[in-house]
Structure 1
Amino acid sequence: MKRIIFIIVSVLMAAIISGCSKEPTPEERFSQYVKLWNDQKFNEMYPFLSADAKASITKEEFVSRYNKVYQDLEIDKLAIDYQQPQEEKKHEDYAELPFSAKMESAAGPIEFDHNATLLKEKQGEDSNWYVAWNTTYIFPELGAGDKISYKNVQAMRGNILDRAGNGLAINGTAVQVGVVPGELGVQKVQTIAKVAQLLDLSVEQINKAMSASWVKDDLFVPLKKISKEDKGLQEKLFAMEGVKSQTVGAREYPYGAALSHLIGYIGPITADDLKQLDGKGYTATDLIGRRGLEQVLEDQLKGTNGIKISIVKENGTVKTLAEKQAKNGKDVKLTIDVVTQQQLYDQLKGKAGTASAINPVTGETLALVSAPGFDPNEMTLGISQTKQKILEEDPLKPFLNRFKLTYVPGSVMKPITTAVGLESGKLQADTAFEITEKQWSKDASWGGYKVTRYSNVIGNINLEKALIYSDNIYFARVALGMGQEIFTDGLKKFGFEDQPEYLYPIEPSQIGKIDSEISLADSAYGQGQIQMNILHLAAAYSPFVNKGSLIKPILNDEEEQGQLWKQGIVSPENAQLINSMLTKVVTDPNGTAHRAQIANYPLAGKTGTAEIKQTQGEKGKELGWFVAYNPEEANMIVAMMIEDSGSTDVVSRVKAFYELKIASGQ
């Protein structure tokens, strides 16, 4: 019995020893290698390499190359598939095993099949199977001396167009100014000094560019891009020996300063931008919207860059591994009429101000102007520090976008107050006050505060006269008769403290705090804390020609026309009444806008002069306003504001705008 047990134990021990001493097969070894590969444990893969493979690449180089390739190409979802056969083959000292690889890259999926060669070798004390690795294991086409190319394919930025398809921001060209060092001749020093002056560069900047390691006497050295429209500057530059040019792609803004605040410009992306936009496909060489609609519509305009991953062979041939096609940005068509925009901007030249023009029936924004502007072409091509400083220190503040801000509206507020009063029933068409003084206060509770009127007409003043003469005292008394709640509710129906969705972000008009009779009275004639933006102001007059409804302004040509912001806020009868009174503001010889009268062309409107001051009695900064439209052909309402100016100047400029429209048959 003991002998039988001894024999059984001996057999079992022999089997165990035999199992422990069994050499691994190439299939088992490669399975281990593949698992490490799938886990991207390149450091642990290296010991599996054959002696020749290790001689061709160090461990540090092996790990670094895999890491770099996989990181640079943004390799994800790596799947190396090797199916170990159910029946093991007999191998002497060589085995060839098929495997497949799948992965996602920045340019899309990459797949390939390959064969792995394993060699039986003795490394150290042990004999085992090792992978005869070479660069083809990364990609089958990648030879030892080949390089991997990762190329961004730039998407075309979408254009911004006006209603007629005129390009407001387009992909065009610019002039790259540079020098060919070997052609500068004996006047080299003088030429460099003159070029530096004309391009607003330093001599040191030019010399540094010319001393770059790649520069040769016969090569073009780029210095600065300039607008192709600047013919005068080009003539001066290219008259000099050795100064040359190249045509390069660039964003163009054909209408320059007139649309600078609305359209904006693009500029180089920064490191901070790249951090904030991580994962959105931007690279360090991209341009990005910096102001205006270029910035607001960045996601639509920029498109998606393409990527091409290739292997460049030693002989120069190229093998594409993966390619993602560039997707160009989307064109955006605006409701803007570029002629109207340019004409309104021209009327504001030399002044600081803003203007808007809308169609009161469709809601289309025909013009949205801030003046002065700046040259967006210069900004996107690279404005000099000197010119930037000049613009920043300009007292007219050309970088300030005035149409997105709110301002004290002054007397252009009075038709709105009129509408609120009529609709509330607290004001009638024949409501009149006996007004005989220049200044008025309700009673002693107002202390020394008085409302000042600028009309010299005294006596019984009714609503029509109050609008024609722009009587502050009349409207102050109207507001007091309504009370704070009715007045405030009425203004909210006109869109105050509300802003419908609009393509360009604009500050909503504000009522402010009305916490006393004085602030209520002042608000009625556009002072107090009332603030309006120029677009809302134009829209606020739309009920007078739009059957009592407030139109919703739109800027995107694809947006539905004729949307109502607020419906039926004024009765048709009251709208017609106000319309006729605003016509008399222009036609009546005593009307504040009489100088806007044009022969054989009807015009209605309201002037305003807002005064911004800290205390009563002091002279404050004035804002001149005028809103005007043709009461018989309601297709455009124009609103304009000029800083440091009374209403007389702005009325003259709006009249000149309409005269130009009439002369051109528009």
Structure 2
Amino acid sequence: MRKSRQKIKSHEQEARLFRNRSLVAALLILLMAIGLVSRLVYLQVFEHDVFITRSDNNRMRVEPLPPRRGLIYDRNGKLLAENRPTYNLTIVRERVDDLDATLERLVQILDLPEDEVATFRERSRQRQRPYQPALLMSDLSEDQIARLAVNRYLLSGVEVEAQLMRYYPDPIVMSHVLGYVGRINAEELADLDPGNYAGTHFIGKTGVEDTYESQLHGRAGLRKVETNARGRVLRELERDPPEPGEDVTLTIDSRLQHMAYDLLDGRRGAIVAIQPKTGDILAMVSAPGFDINKFVTGISYDDYRELQEDIDLPLYNRAARGQYPPGSTVKPFEALGALEYGVVEPDDIIYDPGYFQLPNDSRRYHNWLRWGHGRVDLQRAIEVSNNTYFYTMAYRLGIDRLSSVMHEFGFGEVTSLDVQGALPGLMPSREWKREKYNQAWYPGETLSAGIGQGYFMATPLQLATATATLANHGRWVRPHLAKRIGDTPVTPPFSDTKPDVQMDNRQWWDDVYEGMEAVLNGNEGTARRAGASLEYNMAAKTGTAQVFSLGQNQRYNADELEERLRDHALFIGFAPVEDPQIALAVIVENAGGGVSGLGTAISDAWLQPRAEDEDLPAATINEEVEGLDGD
């Protein structure tokens, strides 16, 4: 065999390979060093603030400081809505390891009844902003606070917070005026300023609480605190204090409000009183009311269902949203329209045989007094509330001009400045019926509108507002509930105020006033018993509103009807006639009549206040003021 040739090593080649490998290794080391240094520079320089913040967040956090909600007072400084200290249970989901287990532990610790457990769990999952506490329970008892304190080590992310809770000293009488605050829901949370409402669990839902939410709420503050590993606060580092909400002073007179509610004496109805010169709403009562304190912390399902199913509708604000046929209370306004359009003169005589007939129509539109009032002029027509006279006026005016006149006094419109949820009522017209029903307007419907029936609907607030405008000789002042916001007075003139009602002859106002005065002090006045004891001149008008329509030859007999089918009773008035200080409207559902005394009692209480009024039982008041309403 021949031996293979051995390869001779090349030292020069090995040295070159070593140098190349060393160069590559050095280059890799250099690149890695550059990458490491670059990363260090990036983290230490460019991301310095981020990591400092993360580091601080491990031991420090920023907590919102909700502002104190502004208080609400009546015009005399009586407190209507206050804040009481209470303890609430909150949870921050991001700080809880196992939410379900924590909730189950809380249910056991607090020994919650079964019907509250579902609500408790739902609140814990209500959408919140990151690291914002969700409100689980309000107004904890001392026993509950003690149980939570003992088990605090088991409840990471759960806190008992001392906060101020809304409380209403007169929750039923003031229910529809004040409204109430309640828990912020998901829809409201999406629309609220996240910074200003951080840490706030309640918001105005209805009434004044809703209308003036931005003023009452204030501005949220912040505090920076140091915490331990479990998230418990060790000390406060910095604080930006919150700005408390502004106090709101209302135009409401609490004494008058209470008296009006007592006068209704459990009946369904509303009373609204306004100061004509300023538009201040002195009283705005809707009965029955309801306990608004139950809504603050969250009303129970059973209690809310009871309110909803109550046949008397306590949640319904009759004063601002109750739309009723105004009945004969519209006759003074119609009379002014008839004078302005020249379809009648104050001394013109119309003969009333007890009914009115349209030309070429056999149907009779009856006066409330079946045998009629005979010869009536404008003043007597108002005094005795003669339907035939106002059927004639409505026919002569026509629905277009009648509707225009009523709109001048605010019927069919929302004219209040800050009454939440107020409805416009309905002043019908030819165009309205065509759009609503695609039907023509008939002359008989004009006659019904002329005595405040048919399609014509008005709220008690509208009636009081129109009466205040009438008392002012047509000068418009928008009714309002706020008298002061903080230290800033709320005074007219207000934007969007309707133009004043103009009459070509100022004497016409006095002609209508004289007829309205005779309602109370005339020999035939429909409220003469209620006006017998008055020590000043008051102008008024009574009215009844049918709940259902009568046939051509049917006669109304209240004794034969169920209570809820009887006519509503209405009253409007202002006093003193020479210098009006109060204008008011009263409606009592299904009363039939006899409510004029309620109106004169309210007027007396405002113009001639007596200390004993507050202690006089409602039944005694009603016995003293019961009047006789002929229409």
Q: Does 1:431 align with 2:348?
A: yes
What does residue 221 of structure 1 align with? 144
C-alpha contact (below 8 Å) 1:551/1:566 kept by paired residues = no
Q: Per the alignment, do residues 317 and 474 of structure 1 end up closer, same or farther by CA in structure 2, a change over 3 Å counting?
A: closer
> Which of residues 586, 596, 599 is equivalent to 2:530?
596
Q: Per the alignment, do residues 26 and 20 of structure 1 end up closer, same or farther by CA in structure 2, a change over 3 Å counting?
A: closer
Shift of 1:399: 0.8
What does residue 240 of structure 1 align with? none
Deviates more, 1:556-565 or 1:373-382: 556-565
- Tell me, in whole angstroms, the C-alpha distance in 1 between the residues paired with 2:596 and 2:444: 29
Shift of 1:314: 6.0
Shift of 1:492: 2.0
Size of the alignment, in residue pairs?
500
Q: Which amino acid aligns with 2:525?
A: G
- Tell me, in whole angstroms, the C-alpha distance in 2 between the residues paired with 1:331 and 1:219: 31
Q: Alignment identity in percent?
A: 26
Q: Does 1:489 align with 2:404?
A: yes
Task: Give ranges in structure 1 of 5+ residues lacking alignment.
Answer: 1-12, 38-79, 83-98, 103-135, 177-200, 210-217, 224-245
C-alpha contact (below 8 Å) 1:495/1:566 kept by paired residues = no
Which secondary structure state, in structure 2, belongs to the residue aligned with residue 172 of structure 1?
Answer: strand
C-alpha contact (below 8 Å) 2:278/2:477 kept by paired residues = yes
Shift of 1:573: 1.6
For each residue in 1:441-472, what CA deviation from the matched residue of structure 2 results, as whole angstroms up to 9, or x when unmatched?
21344x64634433654321111111111011
Q: Does 1:170 align with 2:82?
A: yes
Shift of 1:22: 7.0
- Tell me, in whole angstroms, the C-alpha distance in 2 between the residues paired with 1:455 and 1:159: 56
For each residue in 1:378-435, what CA deviation from the matched residue of structure 2 results, as whole angstroms up to 9, or x when unmatched?
3324444443333333222111111122221000010010111111111210122111
Q: Which amino acid aligns with 2:324?
A: Y
Q: Which amino acid aligns with 2:502?
A: I
For each residue in 1:459-486, what CA deviation from the matched residue of structure 2 results, as whole angstroms up to 9, or x when unmatched?
2111111111101111011111122332
- Tell me, in whole angstroms, the C-alpha distance in 1 between the residues paired with 2:397 and 2:582: 31
Q: Does 1:421 align with 2:352?
A: no
Q: How does 1:151-162 map to 2 (within 5 A)?
A: 151-162=63-74
> Which of residues 282, 288, 305 is equivalent to 2:203?
288
Q: Per the alignment, do residues 280 and 588 of structure 1 end up closer, same or farther by CA in structure 2, a change over 3 Å counting?
A: farther
Q: Per the alignment, do residues 171 and 465 of structure 1 end up closer, same or farther by CA in structure 2, a change over 3 Å counting?
A: same
- Tell me, in whole angstroms, the C-alpha distance in 1 between the residues paired with 2:604 and 2:476: 27
- Tell me, in whole angstroms, the C-alpha distance in 2 between the residues paired with 1:543 and 1:137: 67
For each residue in 1:323-343, what CA deviation from the matched residue of structure 2 results, as whole angstroms up to 9, or x when unmatched?
543232222222222222222
What does residue 126 of structure 1 align with? none
Q: How does 1:603-614 map to 2 (within 5 A)?
A: 603-614=538-549
Shift of 1:504: 1.7
C-alpha contact (below 8 Å) 1:252/1:377 kept by paired residues = yes
Q: Per the alignment, do residues 137 and 24 of structure 1 end up closer, same or farther by CA in structure 2, a change over 3 Å counting?
A: farther
- Tell me, in whole angstroms, the C-alpha distance in 2 between the residues paired with 1:391 and 1:314: 48
Q: Which amino acid aligns with 2:569?
A: G
For each residue in 1:101-147, what CA deviation from the matched residue of structure 2 results, as whole angstroms up to 9, or x when unmatched?
27xxxxxxxxxxxxxxxxxxxxxxxxxxxxxxxxx7445556xxx54
Which secondary structure state, in structure 1, belongs to the residue aligned with residue 30 of structure 2?
Answer: coil
Q: Which amino acid aligns with 2:451?
A: Y
> Which of residues 526, 530, 545 is equivalent to 2:452?
526
> Which of residues 555, 579, 583 is equivalent to 1:633?
579
- Tell me, in whole angstroms, the C-alpha distance in 1 between the residues paired with 2:28 and 2:165: 72
What does residue 400 of structure 1 align with? 316
What does residue 375 of structure 1 align with? 291
What does residue 101 of structure 1 align with? 49
What does residue 303 of structure 1 align with? 218
> Which of residues 387, 397, 422 is equivalent to 2:303?
387
- Tell me, in whole angstroms, the C-alpha distance in 2 between the residues paired with 1:500 and 1:302: 26
Deviates more, 1:383-392 or 1:403-412: 383-392
Which secondary structure state, in structure 1, belongs to the residue aligned with residue 390 of structure 2?
Answer: helix
Shift of 1:372: 0.8
Shift of 1:303: 2.5
- Tell me, in whole angstroms, the C-alpha distance in 2 between the residues paired with 1:374 and 1:411: 31
> Which of residues 502, 513, 516 is equivalent to 1:569?
502
- Tell me, in whole angstroms, the C-alpha distance in 1 between the residues paired with 2:271 and 2:193: 38
- Tell me, in whole angstroms, the C-alpha distance in 1 between the residues paired with 2:200 and 2:279: 40
- Tell me, in whole angstroms, the C-alpha distance in 2 between the residues paired with 1:31 and 1:456: 107
Which secondary structure state, in structure 1, belongs to the residue aligned with residue 174 of structure 2?
Answer: helix
More strand by share: 1
Shift of 1:580: 1.6
> Which of residues 242, 251, 256 is equivalent to 1:326?
242
- Tell me, in whole angstroms, the C-alpha distance in 1 between the residues paired with 2:310 and 2:87: 28
- Tell me, in whole angstroms, the C-alpha distance in 1 between the residues paired with 2:233 and 2:545: 73
What does residue 625 of structure 2 align with? none
Q: Per the alignment, do residues 34 and 367 of structure 1 end up closer, same or farther by CA in structure 2, a change over 3 Å counting?
A: farther
- Tell me, in whole angstroms, the C-alpha distance in 2 between the residues paired with 1:317 and 1:596: 68
- Tell me, in whole angstroms, the C-alpha distance in 2 between the residues paired with 1:27 and 1:606: 96
For each residue in 1:232-271, what CA deviation from the matched residue of structure 2 results, as whole angstroms up to 9, or x when unmatched?
xxxxxxxxxxxxxx99843121222111011011222234
Shift of 1:560: 2.2
Q: Does 1:23 align with 2:63?
A: no
Q: Per the alignment, do residues 416 and 628 of structure 1 end up closer, same or farther by CA in structure 2, a change over 3 Å counting?
A: same
CA RMSD across the alignment: 3.7
- Tell me, in whole angstroms, the C-alpha distance in 1 between the residues paired with 2:198 and 2:237: 21
C-alpha contact (below 8 Å) 1:513/1:529 kept by paired residues = no
Which secondary structure state, in structure 2, belongs to the residue aligned with residue 541 of structure 1?
Answer: helix
- Tell me, in whole angstroms, the C-alpha distance in 2 between the residues paired with 1:321 and 1:222: 27
Q: Does 1:359 align with 2:275?
A: yes
Q: Does 1:338 align with 2:254?
A: yes
- Tell me, in whole angstroms, the C-alpha distance in 2 between the residues paired with 1:34 and 1:652: 88
> Which of residues 143, 154, 173 is equivalent to 1:258?
173
For each residue in 1:496-533, what CA deviation from the matched residue of structure 2 results, as whole angstroms up to 9, or x when unmatched?
33333611231124212442211111111111211112
What does residue 651 of structure 1 align with? 596
- Tell me, in whole angstroms, the C-alpha distance in 2 between the residues paired with 1:247 and 1:322: 20
Relative contact order, higher structure (CA 8 A, sep 6+): 2
C-alpha contact (below 8 Å) 1:303/1:327 kept by paired residues = yes
Q: Per the alignment, do residues 365 and 18 of structure 1 end up closer, same or farther by CA in structure 2, a change over 3 Å counting?
A: same
What's the TM-score, normalizing by structure 1?
Answer: 0.67
Q: Which amino acid aligns with 1:400?
A: Y
What does residue 194 of structure 1 align with? none
What does residue 539 of structure 1 align with? 465
> Which of residues 622, 631, 634 is equivalent to 2:567?
622
Which secondary structure state, in structure 2, belongs to the residue aligned with residue 307 of structure 1?
Answer: strand
Q: How does 1:175-214 map to 2 (within 5 A)?
A: none
Task: Give ranges in structure 2 of 5+ residues lacking alignment.
Answer: 1-19, 89-111, 121-140, 147-160, 431-440, 484-488, 557-564, 614-631
C-alpha contact (below 8 Å) 2:410/2:465 kept by paired residues = no
Q: Which amino acid aligns with 2:443?
A: E
- Tell me, in whole angstroms, the C-alpha distance in 2 between the residues paired with 1:636 and 1:34: 78
C-alpha contact (below 8 Å) 1:550/1:569 kept by paired residues = no
What does residue 619 of structure 2 align with? none
Q: Does 1:409 align with 2:326?
A: yes
C-alpha contact (below 8 Å) 1:503/1:555 kept by paired residues = yes
- Tell me, in whole angstroms, the C-alpha distance in 2 between the residues paired with 1:510 and 1:421: 20
C-alpha contact (below 8 Å) 1:494/1:566 kept by paired residues = no
- Tell me, in whole angstroms, the C-alpha distance in 1 between the residues paired with 2:115 and 2:324: 47
Which secondary structure state, in structure 2, belongs to the residue aligned with residue 23 of structure 1?
Answer: helix
Shift of 1:544: 3.6
What's the TM-score, normalizing by structure 2?
Answer: 0.71
Deviates more, 1:627-636 or 1:164-173: 164-173
C-alpha contact (below 8 Å) 2:571/2:585 kept by paired residues = yes
